[in-house]
Chain A
Amino acid sequence: MAARVTEERQVPEASFGSYYGRPILKVTRWKEPHLPAYLFLGELSGGAAALGAAATATGRPVLARAGRLVAAAAAFAGAGFLTAELGRPERFVNMLRVAKPTSPMSVGSWTLAAHSGLVTAAAASSLTGVLPGLGTAAGAASAVTGPVLAAYPGVLLANTAVPAWHSAYRELPLLFTGGAMTAAAAAGLLAAAATGADPGPAARLAIAGAVTEGVAEVSMERWLGEAGEPYREGSAGQLLRAARVLTVAGGVCALAARRSRGAGVLGAALLAGGGLAAKFAVLRAGVASAKDPRYVIAQQRSASGTAGAAPART
C-alpha cells in the first residue's frame, strides 16, 4: 500500500544507493498522444453517454442527440487510439479472449465493447429515427457503462508499479470522471450554441466537473507527499497547472453561455483543452516517477519503515 505522508517525516532524510542511477522500473511503453487521447476520448464518451441519457429523460432533444452522437464518435475514436498503441494491433480482439477481474485492462476492454455497442445503437436510432424505444433503452444503459468507462482508467493506471500512478489510486478515477463531466459539458455547450438550445445543464455539468477535478488535484497535492512530486514538477506540473487554468476559465465561460453564444463555444474549447492537458500531465508524471529510482526506493523504504542504511535482513 502506498505510504501517505500526513505529517513531518519521522525518519531523517536517507541517502539511497542505486545502480548507476538507472531506473528500477521500466518506463511505460504507453506514449503520447495515444494514451492521453484515449483517456480523454474514453471519459468524453462516458460523460456524453450519461449526458445524453439524462437529456433524453428530461426532454431535452438537442442535448440528447448531441450526447448520443458524441458518445459514439468518441468511443470509436478512443478504441482507435487504443488499438494503435498495441504492439500487435491486429491482435486487438485478443483483449476479449478472456475476462479477467485482476486486469483493469480486461475489465476496460469488455466495458468499452459493451459501451460502444450501446452508444452506437443509441446514436443510430437518433440519426435515423428507427426504433426510438430501443435507442432510448440503449442510451439509458450507456449511462451505466459510461461512468464505468470514464472511471476505470484510474484503476488501469493505478494498478501498476509506477509510483505516481499507484499512490494516486484514490484520486485518479475522480480526476477522470471529473474530466468526463467537463468534456461532456463541452460537447453540450457546443450543441447548445449551434442550435440555440438551453446550455444550462451543460454549464452546470461543467461546474460540477471542474469542482470534481479540483477536488482530485487538491487531494493529490495534499496527500501524496513525495510520490505526488512528479505532478508538481517539470512538464507534468506545467501541464497540470495549465489544465487547471483552462478548466476554471472554461467553467466561467460556461456560466456566461446563456448570455453569449461565443462564450459557450469558447468555454467548450477551454474545457476540452483543460481535460486533454490533464491527461498528458498524468502520463508525464508517471513517466517521471518511473524514471527516477528515488521515488521507488523512498516509497518502499517508508512503507516498510526501514531507512536507507537498513540492517541486514535474514
Chain B
Amino acid sequence: MGNRLSGPLADVSGEAGYREHPPRVGFFTDTSVCIGCKACEVACKEWNGVPDTHGDVLSLTGMSYDNTEELGANAWRHVAFIEQAKPVQAAPADGAGDGAAEATRWLMASDVCKHCTHAACLDVCPTGALVRTEFGSVVVQSDVCNGCAYCVSACPFGVIDRREDDGRAWKCTMCYDRLRGGLEPACAKACPTDSIQFGPLDELRAAAAARLAELHDAGEKGARLYGHDPEDGIGGAGAFFLLLDEPETYGLPPDPVVTTADLPSMWQWAGVAAAVLVAGVGAAFAGRSPAGLPWRRG
C-alpha cells in the first residue's frame, strides 16, 4: 500500500486504513444553476453552529452581493458573486439583429472545502487532528487540534483557517454527523435549485459529465468542470464544480498541486543542507589551534 503522496487513488478511505467503509461521497456544485440565495451558507451555519463570520458586525464589502468574502474558520460555504459586462447570446425577440448584445452576466458559485484526495491539510497536521473519514471526507477533530496553523498555510485553496478567539482550525466537515445519521449535508439539503448535489462521487462525476455536455451543446462554451479529475494535482476533489469561467475568476487556484507531492525531494535537499552544516563545522575545527592570541599576550 505504502504512503502515496500524489496521483489518482481509487480508495481513499481504504488507503487511510478503513477495511470496510461506505462509498466515497462528495459534492458536485453546478454553478450554472446557482441563484445566489445563500441558503447553503445559512443552513451550514445553523446546523454546525458556526459563529458569525465578522463577529457581530454587519459589513458590506461592495463585492456585488458577497458579504461573506471567503471561506474560513467561520464560513464553510461561501457564495461568490461576479458581475461581468460581456457579450452574451440574447434570444432575438423580433427576429432582428444577430442576437449578440452587451449585457451583464452574473456568475454565482457556492464554494466549499474540496475534501481533496491528497489533502495537504491532513498530510501536514502534526497532531493527527485532521483525519480522513470512512466517507472519504476530511475532518478536523476539535478535541485534538492544538492550533499550530500548519494546515492554514498548506491548503492550496485557502479554505481552512484558525478561529483566533478559539485557537483551533475549523472547516467544512461535510456534515459528518449528518452522514453518520444517513442524511445529506445541510447545504445540499437546503439548496433550492440542486446547484449543490450530494452523493457517491462516481455518480456525481457521471452526472457532471452529462451536464457539461448539455451546456456545451446549448452553446455555453465557457463551461468547464473543476476538481473532478483524479489525474489533477490533488488527485481529484471530493467536492468539485461546474464553472462558467476561469477558476481564478471565482477565486479558485487554476491548477493546484498538493504541496506534499514534492516532499521526498524536499527532505533530500534538507539532507544536503544538514550535511553542509556538519561539513562546515568539521572544516572549522580541522585546523590546529595556535599557541596564543596577540591581544591576550598584550
Contact = CB atoms under 8 A, between A and B. Distances in A.
A297 B251 CA distance: 10
A310 to B, nearest CB: 7
Interface residues of B, number: 91
B29 interface: no
B280 A209 contact: yes
B156 A25 contact: yes
B124 interface: yes
Contacts of B113: none
Interface of A: 1-2, 16-20, 22-26, 28-30, 46-47, 50-51, 54-55, 57-58, 60, 85-89, 91-92, 94-95, 97-98, 100-106, 109, 143, 146-148, 150-152, 154-156, 158-162, 165-166, 169-170, 173-174, 176-178, 180-181, 184-185, 196, 198-202, 204-205, 208-209, 212, 258-261, 286, 290, 293, 296-297, 300-301, 303-304, 306, 308, 310, 312-314
Nearest to B70: A22
Contacts of A57: 285
B13 interface: no
16 contacts: A1-B262, A18-B248, A19-B80, A24-B252, A26-B72, A29-B153, A87-B164, A88-B145, A94-B144, A161-B158, A185-B284, A201-B285, A205-B281, A212-B276, A290-B153, A313-B226
Given A160-B124, A313-B226, 20 more contacts: A17-B246, A20-B61, A24-B251, A28-B153, A50-B277, A50-B278, A87-B164, A98-B127, A102-B3, A105-B148, A150-B273, A151-B271, A159-B262, A160-B153, A160-B154, A169-B266, A177-B280, A185-B284, A260-B295, A310-B254
Given A24-B251, A50-B281, A86 B153 contact: no
Nearest to B120: A161
Interface in B208-260: 212, 221-226, 245-246, 248-257, 259-260
A24 B248 contact: yes
B12 interface: no
A205 to B, nearest CB: 4
B150 A24 contact: no
B235 to A, nearest CB: 14
Contacts, number: 294
A103 B126 CA distance: 6
A109 B251 contact: no
A51 B281 contact: yes
Contact of A200 (B221, B250, B290, B296): B290
B176 to A, nearest CB: 20
B259 A166 contact: yes
Nearest to A195: B296
Contact of A102 (B124, B147, B155): B124
B269 A174 contact: yes
B272 to A, nearest CB: 7
Contacts of A161: 120, 153-156, 158, 256, 259
B100 interface: no
Given A50-B277, A154-B270, A24 B158 contact: yes
B296 A87 contact: no
Contacts of A109: 126
Contacts of A177: 273-274, 276-277, 280
B128 interface: yes
A105 B287 contact: no
Given A17-B249, A177-B274, A297-B254, A154 B269 contact: yes
A293 B157 CA distance: 11
Contact of A103 (B125, B156, B212, B293): B125
Contact of A54 (B144, B222, B276, B281): B281
Nearest to B82: A19
Interface in B175-224: 212, 221-224
A22 B249 CA distance: 10
A11 B181 CA distance: 52
A290 B296 CA distance: 52
A314 B128 contact: no
Interface of B: 3, 5, 61, 63, 69-70, 72, 80, 82, 120, 123-129, 144-150, 152-164, 166-169, 212, 221-226, 245-246, 248-257, 259-263, 265-267, 269-278, 280-285, 287, 289-290, 293-296
B292 to A, nearest CB: 9
A42 to B, nearest CB: 12
Q: Which of A101, A177, A185, A205 has its CB near the most chain B CB atoms (within 10 A)?
A: A177
B123 A103 contact: yes
A258 B277 CA distance: 23
A102 B267 CA distance: 10
| 4 tightest A-B CB contacts, nearest first | A87-B147, A87-B167, A19-B251, A173-B273
Contact of A208 (B69, B275, B283): B283
Contacts of B225: 313-314
Nearest to B289: A198
Given A22-B70, A30-B153, A87-B167, A297 B285 contact: no
A314 B226 CA distance: 9
A58 B254 contact: no
A47 B153 contact: no
A102 B127 contact: no
Nearest to A58: B285
Given A312-B224, A314-B224, A174 B276 contact: yes
A41 to B, nearest CB: 16
A87 B294 CA distance: 53
A308 to B, nearest CB: 8
Nearest to A179: B277
Given A103-B150, A258-B293, A313 B224 contact: yes
